[in-house]
Structure 1
Amino acid sequence: MSDEIQEIEESPTGEYAAIAERYKAGEELTDEELDTIADVAVSVLRDLLSFFDARESPIDEYEGDEGELILDVTAPDLAVLIGRHGRTLESLQTIFSLLVSRKLGFRYPVAVDVEGYKSRRHDKVISMAHSAASRAVRQHSTVSLPPMSAYERRLVHIALRDNDRVDTHSEGAEPERRVVITLV
């Protein structure tokens, strides 16, 4: 096991116990506590990036629409971190989330993005959902979207939940699971 990952795994969680307690109680965290969480997350991400010779890549921090911390790695030639259809990025996110949670001692929503890929994909999936819904209404038919990750399917369901002219549900088995849009 590498020294970086071993160091992450052996890190004490006691130092973050007060933050964990306040967060779990639903209290609003102070800017200093949020900075501490961000520092831990950036440290873990840099350790993971070191395996791709990208440890010193710039990382932009910002708050997402649902209050999550988003870390966007902004360096050229990091397509390897995104992978085909974002699958490598999904795997990186899973490992990253586990390591951050373990180090903090609680789960705080932190997302990793690379060159804004997730943001662009989010917008594309929402647009695709609205377009497919319009097509279902216009053609009085059912429209099946291409296979998507669970996260992307959730985006479609959320994007169309207020559209009273269509209904959505998911069909199929992973990795071919897709959203089907039907006329109400």
Structure 2
Amino acid sequence: MEEIIPKLKSFLGLLIRTAGFTLRSIEARKEDEKTVKVELFVDGAGLMIGENGENIFSWEDVLNQWLRKNSEGFLRVWLDINSYRWQNEQRLRELAKKSAREAVLSKNPVRLPTMSSYERRIIHTELALHPNVATESEGKDPERRVIIKPI
């Protein structure tokens, strides 16, 4: 995996510049045996990130397709642009904790706003070991949401 990282960075840099963005830096490292974590910093990242971070997953898909063609074995890319995903995960974890407190204190379920499966998984994971609440998803995509119930 180590030998593919410089090639991946080079490909991504070319892709970014070709798309008309100004690249500040690319940090890439082996996260685990199958994951390359890429942190990208660009000027004017709003278009790259997209509404609610939707475009990040599209960029990630392009990189994963490139990896499948240019590396041996199964590898995947986890991409963050200007720390958007990291900040969003922190915000979701705080929302989960706050909503769990609210559910326990009010003794009523708390319905969170609709979220992507990725965001719902963060909420479920954050509260999985919480002794006083249970979580479940309800609805159909794209209107699926997490319900936090006191137990």
TM-score between both structures, scaled by the size of structure 1: 0.73
Partner Cα distance (1:78, 1:117) in 2: 10
Q: Residue 100 of structure 1: CA displacement?
A: 1.4
Unaligned runs of 5+ in 1: 1-32
Distance change in 2, residues 1:66/1:156 (3 Å): farther
- Alignment partner of 2:42: what SS? coil
Partner Cα distance (1:66, 1:157) in 2: 25
Distance change in 2, residues 1:67/1:141 (3 Å): farther
Q: Indicate the RMSD between aligned Cα atoms, in angstroms.
A: 2.2
Of the three residues 116, 128, 146, the one matched with 1:179 is 146
The answer for the alignment partner of 1:146 in structure 2 is 113
Higher strand proportion (structure 1 or 2): 2
How many pairs were matched up?
151
TM-score between both structures, scaled by the size of structure 2: 0.87
Amino acid at match of 1:123: Q
Partner Cα distance (2:27, 2:112) in 1: 32
Query: Which aligned runs of 4 or more in structure 1 are off by greater than 4 angstroms?
Result: 62-67
Unaligned runs of 5+ in 2: none
Q: Does 2:33 correspond to 1:91?
A: no
The answer for the alignment partner of 1:126 in structure 2 is 93
- Alignment partner of 2:147: what SS? strand
Residues 45 and 81 in structure 2, CA contact (< 8 A), matched pair in contact too: yes
Residues 40 and 82 in structure 2, CA contact (< 8 A), matched pair in contact too: yes
Amino acid at match of 2:56: L
Residues 23 and 42 in structure 2, CA contact (< 8 A), matched pair in contact too: no
The answer for the alignment partner of 1:106 in structure 2 is 73
- Alignment partner of 1:111: what SS? strand
Q: Does 2:43 correspond to 1:79?
A: no
Amino acid at match of 1:174: D
Q: Residue 139 of structure 1: CA displacement?
A: 0.7
The answer for the alignment partner of 1:44 in structure 2 is 11
Identity of aligned residues (%): 26
Distance change in 2, residues 1:92/1:168 (3 Å): same
Distance change in 2, residues 1:103/1:63 (3 Å): closer
